[in-house]
Structure 1
Amino acid sequence: MYPYDNPLKIPKVEKAVTLWTHPDGLVLGSIYLHLGDAERSRAEDPWAIMNDHDDFLVVRRQEPEELRFYNKASLIRVEYAEDELYVAESGKDLPCRVHLMDGSVIEGAMRKSLPPERSRLYDYMNSDNPRFLKLYVEAGAVCLVNKSYVGYIMTREPALA
């Protein structure tokens, strides 16, 4: 038995995002994530979509309200909220400051579970060769940064609590 009303429809959910595109600038809208199923307990991760083999991303813009297909190479960064539960389980914090080619600076932390001998910021930036780096910028907020637009990345001291 198919768990959804229409067996021809691919079950997806919209995820609100803020895109920074070249040359348009700020774009508010939503991307589409596959829903969780028997193999996945939750919806697809935007980071996985941005780093998959597809060259284009479907975006439902807010203003004007329309569907667009953005070339991922033209996306500078993608910002969205992430569930705190999943943020906590994603590995060791690697505090950093990302300097983009347009002069923007994004402060946050990269996280990934890596073996102790390969757990430096350098190792994360060069592991798995993703197109977009995942940066946790504040509680529950994520910024995916296109590595093609990064000028340089600096380490920084973690914030004192």
Structure 2
Amino acid sequence: MDELILDPSFYTVKAILTLDNGGDRFFAKYCDDSYPGVKEQKAFEKNTFNKTCQTDTETALLGGLTVVCKSSIDLYFYTIGSSYENEMMLMAILNCLFFDSLSQMLRKNVEKRALLENMEGFFLVVDEIVDWGVILESNPQQWVQRVLQSAKEQIKWSLLR
């Protein structure tokens, strides 16, 4: 009866990463202090990329973490949670964030160049999804609406200046 009983927690996501096809950081949002320094983060990202880029699987266990991966044309998208997190929940976040919301925003052109041109919207989508590991929204339509609303407000304020 030495089972591990975990207290329920809203903290599901430990990190959201986007790496280019060379394994270099394109975007990273760490939600806790598991990797406190840039050096540790980059080493983790390289290790994650090396372990996942050569396989067809979308889920991996690396160093006590559950890593869910999807690739696009020249980018790799990752959602990372603790080893006891539900892979289906992490995959739902990844699918909704990167392949539903971003596809709508970028008109189905989810690639590095298009994201570079729309980084502000990309940051807003990520911020609408997860706040310090807590999942805020799981409906991609809501994310897109919030990003569009925020863009309209920024245009309005820039015109008033």
Quickly name the TM-score band, shorter chain normalised. under 0.3
How high is the TM-score relative to the length of structure 2?
0.23
How high is the TM-score relative to the length of structure 1?
0.23
Give the number of the structure with larger relative contact order, counting CA–CA contacts within 8 Å between residues 6 or more apart: 2
Looking at secondary structure, tell me which structure has more strand per residue: 1
